[in-house]
Amino acid sequence: MRAFEIVERGHGEVVEVDPPVAGPGQVVVDVALVGICGTDVSIFTGDEARLARSRLSYPIRLGHEWSGTVVELGEGVDPAWLGRRVTGDTLIGCGHCARCLSGRHHLCDDHWGIGVRRNWPGALAEKLLVPEVSLRGLPDEVDDEQGAMVEPGANSFRAVQAAGILPGSTVLVLGTGAIGLIAAQFAIAAGGEVHVVGIDDDGLRIARSLGVQGTWRPDEQPSTPWDAVIEATNSPVMPGFALDAVDAGRVAVFIGVAPTPSEVDARTIVHKEITVHGILGGSLGLNDTIAAYADGSVDPRPLIAATVTLEQAEDVLTGRAPHTRGPGPKFLIDPSRVDR
């Protein structure tokens, strides 16, 4: 089958590889669509700290945001999965440590990550091997585009959930990437008065089209006593910005990851009695995200920039791919399409 693999730092190729075979407790999925995110870009560009932390070595097959159809079952798998449209959990715990047994498998020290950790082959291929335990069924109301955006959406859902947003809460979202913009949608759905801070004009325009009540540059956001601030950028200075912006006694949520250490003064947290939450992944929010996409309260599709082929994956990862559908931040890849 065809697959896109990073063969060295900053360079990938479409290669022919053996298709996966489902072992006990596993399935093979025909991949429909795959999303590309900042994590993929940092792996592609050879972020040495991330590669070491994630125990990755070349060649690397990316792809942790995906949708598809189950076409092969391994021993012991429920036959009802065959032929179902699905997405899945990126993070696979060991299954027997204290964290896994207490429902925190995404924090397991020995976990695997589809397309992102310990070289589990990702979805940038025609077929994908997935453990049954990771599967999530997609209802008819959720199409393949939305299915490929469940994983980032689940990160956003968990950030909004951690923020404790109630009807009337004032919410400031920092960042106009996919996580920030979907978080803004979830915060609106929760009844919040939502504002977005960003530095990208297109991202701010998309935020306004999604129904936020205000968009701002970092140097112009109003001195509102924000009940919740969700930091979803890759800037090392914005976590400190979030702590300064949030009201005393309220909540700051950190989901963005900067390439260098962030600058945070813990005295601000103490003196303002701020509750701080960190969000690593979407594992615990997948079902709620699928439900929100299905009922229409949240729709990630306005964020799609284009759908391209495996041959164009490197252009996406290097920022050269054109936005043929809209100015949004999310590129999708269709492994079944071939450039001629």
Each residue of 17-38: pLDDT tens digit? Answer: 999 999 999 999 999 999 999 9
Rounded-to-10 torsion of CA 154, 155, 156, 158:
80
Report the pLDDT value the prediction gives residue 180, as an integer from 0 to 100.
98
Whether 309 and 158 have beta carbons less than 8 Å apart is answered as no
Mean predicted confidence (pLDDT) in 196-208: 97
2-149+300-333 topology per CATH:
Quinone Oxidoreductase; Chain A, domain 1 (3.90.180)
Measured distance CA(40)–CA(171) in Å, rounded:
28
> Which segments of the chain belong to CATH 3.90.180.10?
2-149+300-333
Measured distance CA(3)–CA(70) in Å, rounded:
18
Report the pLDDT value the prediction gives residue 340, as an integer from 0 to 100.
56
Would you say residue 219 has pLDDT above 70?
Answer: yes
> Which segments of the chain belong to CATH 3.40.50.720?
155-278
pLDDT band at 47, cuts 50/70/90? confident
Type of residue found at 140? D
Report the pLDDT value the prediction gives residue 189, as an integer from 0 to 100.
98
Measured distance CA(158)–CA(291) in Å, rounded:
14
H or E stretch including 158?
A: helix 150-163
Burial 286-296 (b: 16+ CB within 10 A, else e): bebbbebbeee
Give pLDDT tens digits for 65-119.
999 999 999 999 999 999 999 999 999 999 999 999 999 999 999 999 999 999 9
Mean predicted confidence (pLDDT) in 123-136: 98
Measured distance CA(282)–CA(113) in Å, rounded:
12
SS3 category, 32: strand
Mean predicted confidence (pLDDT) in 128-143: 98
Report the pLDDT value the prediction gives residue 90, as an integer from 0 to 100.
96
Q: Tell me the pTM.
A: 0.96
pLDDT band at 264, cuts 50/70/90? very high
Whether 37 and 178 have beta carbons less than 8 Å apart is answered as yes
Q: Per DSSP, what are the bridge partners of residue 16?
A: 2
Q: Which long-range contacts (CB under 8 A, 24 or more apart) does 84-87 make?
A: 84/137, 84/138, 85/32, 85/137, 85/138, 85/144, 85/147, 86/29, 86/130, 86/135, 86/136, 86/137, 86/138, 86/147, 87/135, 87/136, 87/138, 87/147, 87/148, 87/150, 87/151, 87/286, 87/290
Burial 11-23 (b: 16+ CB within 10 A, else e): ebebeeeeebebe
Whether 155 and 255 have beta carbons less than 8 Å apart is answered as yes
CA-closest candidate to residue 205, choices 190, 213, 215, 220: 215
How do beta strands 214-216 and 193-197 pair?
A: parallel
Q: State the CATH class of domain 155-278.
A: alpha beta
> Regarding predicted confidence, which is higher, 225 or 128?
128
CA-closest candidate to residue 157, choices 196, 193, 180, 186: 186
11 Cβ contact list (under 8 Å, min separation 6): 314
Would you say residue 339 has pLDDT above 90?
Answer: no
219 Cβ contact list (under 8 Å, min separation 6): none
